[in-house]
Amino acid sequence: MTSLILRDVHVTIGTTPVVTGVSLTAPSGGRVGIVGPNGSGKSTLLRAVYRHLPLAGGSITVGGEDLWALTPRRAAQLVAALPQETRSDFDVTVWEMAAMGRTPHKRPFAADTERDVAVVADALAHAGVAHLAGRRFTTLSGGERQRVLLARALAQQAPVLVLDEPTNHLDVRHQFDLLGLVTSAGTTVVAALHDLNLAAAYCDHVYVLAAGRVVADGPPYEVLTPELVREVFGVDAHVTSVPGTDAPHLILRPAAGGPTTR
C-alpha cells in the first residue's frame, strides 16, 4: 500500500505560475478528490503527479520515494493515470491499447507473458469493455474510449491511480461503475472531479483548488458547504445528505442576484 504526498508543489507553464504551493496527502488506500472551477489548476497539478509536467518547486513522494528522482519505468510502476485528454488517433486495437499498461512491467520488446495476458483480460473485463477487445480504438465512442483507457490504467497495476475528470463522456451508470471500481480496490486514488456530488459520494477527503492554490480541504461534509460553493464556484447550494451515509448531496442552482466571478 502506498501513500502520495505533495509538499508545496509549484508548476509553471511557460512563464505563468499555474499551481502555486499546493500540499496534499493521499494516505495509502485513500480516496482524494480535487474540485475547483475551470482553470483552477487541477489538471496541471495532476500532470505533475503523473510526470507530464515538471515541478517548478516542492516535492512529490510516493510510498516515501521521491517521484521525480525515479526512472520513468519505476515511476510508472507506482503511478498510473487516466488523463483528461489522450491522443485518439492511435491505430491500435482495444486489446493493444489496454496492453500498453503492462509496459512498465516488461523488458523492451518482450512478448506478453501469460500473466500479462491475464492482467489485460481482467482489466478489460473490470472496465466493461472486454467485448470490444478486437475493435480499433479509433472507432470507439468517447465513453468507450474512456473505459478502455481506464483498462489500460488498471492493467498497469500501480498502487496509486490518478484520474483527471474520469467521468467525462460516461453515462450515469458508467460514472458510478468507474468510481465504484477504482475506489473499492484499495488503490490510493486522486481524482479531479467536476461533479461535486460524485466527489462527495466517492471521496473521503476533498481538496478545493482556486487559482492554483488549495482554499479548503477535509471530509466532503465539512468542506462542501453552501458558503464555500458560493465563494468558489459562484453558485448557490442547498446541502442535504445521502440516506444511510455521511456524504452530503448538493442541490445546485444559479446564484441569487446573478453569478459571482472569481
Ligand X SMILES: Nc1ncnc2c1ncn2[C@@H]1O[C@H](COP(=O)(O)OP(=O)(O)OP(=O)(O)O)[C@@H](O)[C@H]1O
Of residues 18 and 67, the one with the C-beta less far from ligand X: 18
Look at the block and give the residue holding cell 500532470. 47
Q: Given the rule CB under 6 A, which residues bind ligand X?
A: 13-14, 16, 18, 36, 38-44
Contact yes or no for 208/218 (Cβ under 8 A): no
Residue 78 has a CB neighbour count (10 Å cut-off) of 19
Of residues 2 and 175, the one with the C-beta less far from ligand X: 175
Residue 107's φ and ψ, nearest 5 degrees, are: -75, 155
Of residues 44 and 183, the one with the C-beta less far from ligand X: 44
Residue type, 116: D
Contact yes or no for 54/69 (Cβ under 8 A): no
Of residues 44 and 188, the one with the C-beta less far from ligand X: 44
SS3 (DSSP) at 137:
helix
| Minimum distance from residue 244 beta carbon to ligand X (Å) | 31
| Minimum distance from residue 192 beta carbon to ligand X (Å) | 6
| Minimum distance from residue 38 beta carbon to ligand X (Å) | 3
Of residues 42 and 147, the one with the C-beta less far from ligand X: 42
Nearest of 209, 148, 154, 224 to residue 183 by alpha carbon: 154
Residue 172 has a CB neighbour count (10 Å cut-off) of 8
Nearest of 76, 35, 42 to residue 252 by alpha carbon: 35
| Minimum distance from residue 189 beta carbon to ligand X (Å) | 17
Contact yes or no for 224/198 (Cβ under 8 A): no
| Minimum distance from residue 67 beta carbon to ligand X (Å) | 18
Please tell me what DSSP assigns to residue 106.
S
Of residues 144 and 164, the one with the C-beta less far from ligand X: 164
| Minimum distance from residue 255 beta carbon to ligand X (Å) | 19
Residues linked to residue 217 through DSSP beta bridges, in sequence order: 207
